[in-house]
Amino acid sequence: RVASVPDPTLLVRRKAALGGELSPLFYRRPLQVVRGQGPWIHTADGRRYLDAYNNVPVVGHAHPAVVQAISRQAAVLNLNSRYLHPHVVELAERLVASMPDGLDTCVFANSGSEANDLAWRMARVVTGRDGAIVADLAYHGVSEATAAFSTNTYPASARPSHVAVFEAPRNAEDDGIAAAARVRAARAALRTAGHDLALLAVDSVFSSAGILTPRNDFMQGLQDTARAAGGLFLADEVQAGFGRGGRNLWRFQDFGLTPDFVTLGKPMGNGHPVAALITRREIADAFTEVDEYFSTFGGNPVSCVAALTVLDVIEESGLVARSGEVGAELRGRLEALVPDLPVRGQGLMVGVELAGAADFAERLRDHGVLVGTTGPGGGVLKIRPPLIWTAAEVARFVAAFQRAMG
Ligand code: PMP
């Protein structure tokens, strides 16, 4: 069933069946989308939009290799991972090989939320503690535990006492000493409330805080102080991972970190739902002594072949380096265009802080480009396109940006 003409009843029916605020849409006049191809999204009114927002189709919309791999495997076999099958083994081997030494064990899930939730369960078992430290304006997921870590969306007045918050790094002076002091203060708050630190979780790009580019020593300060306090350290790479930062496959590598947990999701299957938690064997073993984990869909052969193909394409097309180069060009052009506005980010994860960001995103849409907004009050334009962008897409984007400025 391909809905390729605008359906005037769809919005009303959607609200009736899905609720309004429960299932929000982008844009005042929501887009009825029909298909995606490479950097483009096509809508039912016959227009096409340059996608400068969606990180999930990391190798481009409907990438032929991914589509073919998924459909071939779906035609052969799909079932849960409690049978011996090569795809899940090969994917785990590839992911583990891409990680620092010691991160030798991989578990599969279907969403970033589930991967973070499992890390939290493991951290509690291993440390025997039940406190968490997260950044302000963070987002880590939809389960009860990870929603409480999501200081961006969870009501502060309802925050459980086992969650303490540190201020995200917003200034060049936010160094390792500042990070250590913030972690120690958050831990003291946990202890006052009768808890102690099991897990410090951090999104390596601080996406929901407005796309921040912390100093290496700030990130190391978070990790080392959490560890010194007997806690474990989670690098949430759900947004940051798979080459977005343009230097390494994983953003935490840029900072020289060696996390106890790494979680992956979003772009991992180029749109197919697949996620993973990577940790050390002794953590996994301590967990399985007292608890167990099984996900029906986690690690199924179709999801694994999607993820394997994404890794292949990233490697074969050199997308990590390209993200770095194209991202640097994008930031450079934007800085020249709006010299008085803060332009932040690294690789193809760029934030532009500007008054009226939501209105500007609407105008960009009118000029054929899709972006998002993030940060405090949604005041930061979120530019996070598929990694297949070239100078041609940057030029289109910048031209539309210029026209939208009026
Ligand atoms: N962590 C981060 C940093 C995220 O951005 C998200 C999703 N926006 C999640 C976790 C949760 O992932 P999912 O929506 O796949 O559950």
List the residue whose alpha carbon is closest to atom 10 of ligand 1. 140
- Asked if 82 and 200 sit in the same domain, the reply is yes
- Asked if 138 and 281 sit in the same domain, the reply is yes
Whole domain around residue 395: which residue ranges?
10-59+318-405
From the CA of 203, give the closest atom in ligand 1.
Answer: 3
Does position 4 have pLDDT exceeding 80, yes or no? no
Q: What is the mean pLDDT of residues 56-79?
A: 98
From the CA of 110, give the closest atom in ligand 1.
Answer: 15
- Asked if 300 and 230 sit in the same domain, the reply is yes
- Asked if 80 and 176 sit in the same domain, the reply is yes
Structural domains counted in the chain: 2
- Asked if 146 and 160 sit in the same domain, the reply is yes
Average pLDDT of every residue of the chain: 97
pLDDT in tens, 322-368: 999 999 999 999 999 999 999 999 999 999 999 999 999 999 999 99
pLDDT in tens, 372-406: 999 999 999 999 999 999 999 999 999 999 999 99
Q: Which residues line ligand 1 (CB under 6 A)?
A: 111-113, 116, 139-142, 203, 207, 236, 238-239, 265-266
Q: From the CA of 55, how far away is ligand 1's center (Å)?
A: 12
Does position 119 have pLDDT exceeding 70, yes or no? yes
Which residue, 316, 331, 356, sits at the end of a domain? 316
Q: What is the mean pLDDT of residues 227-251?
A: 98
- Asked if 33 and 44 sit in the same domain, the reply is yes
pLDDT in tens, 189-219: 999 999 999 999 999 999 999 999 999 999 9
Q: Which of 114, 139, 349, when mutated, tests ligand 1's pocket best, judged by the most ligand atoms within 8 Å of its CB?
A: 139
Which residue, 316, 345, 378, sits at the end of a domain? 316
Rounded Cα–Cα distance for residues 17 and 1 (Å) = 19
- Asked if 264 and 360 sit in the same domain, the reply is no
CATH number at residue 369: 3.90.1150.10
- Is 5 inside any structural domain? no
List the residue whose alpha carbon is closest to atom 13 of ligand 1. 112
Does position 3 have pLDDT exceeding 70, yes or no? no
- Asked if 260 and 135 sit in the same domain, the reply is yes
Q: From the CA of 46, how far away is ligand 1's center (Å)?
A: 31
CATH number at residue 242: 3.40.640.10
pLDDT in tens, 265-295: 999 999 999 999 999 999 999 999 999 999 9
pLDDT in tens, 301-322: 999 999 999 999 999 999 999 9
- Asked if 306 and 346 sit in the same domain, the reply is no
pLDDT reported for residue 2: 56
Confidence tier at 5 by pLDDT (50, 70, 90): confident
Q: From the CA of 305, how far away is ligand 1's center (Å)?
A: 21
Does position 1 have pLDDT exceeding 60, yes or no? no
- Is 147 inside any structural domain? yes
- Is 291 inside any structural domain? yes
- Is 2 inside any structural domain? no
- Asked if 97 and 242 sit in the same domain, the reply is yes
Nearest to 399 by CA among 361, 368, 357, 358: 368
Q: What is the mean pLDDT of residues 219-233?
A: 98
The pTM of the full predicted model, rounded to 2 decimals, is 0.98
Q: Which of 113, 263, 295, 349, when mutated, tests ligand 1's pocket best, judged by the most ligand atoms within 8 Å of its CB?
A: 113
- Asked if 332 and 287 sit in the same domain, the reply is no
Which residue, 253, 288, 316, sits at the end of a domain? 316
From the CA of 237, give the closest atom in ligand 1.
Answer: 3
- Is 4 inside any structural domain? no
- Asked if 89 and 203 sit in the same domain, the reply is yes
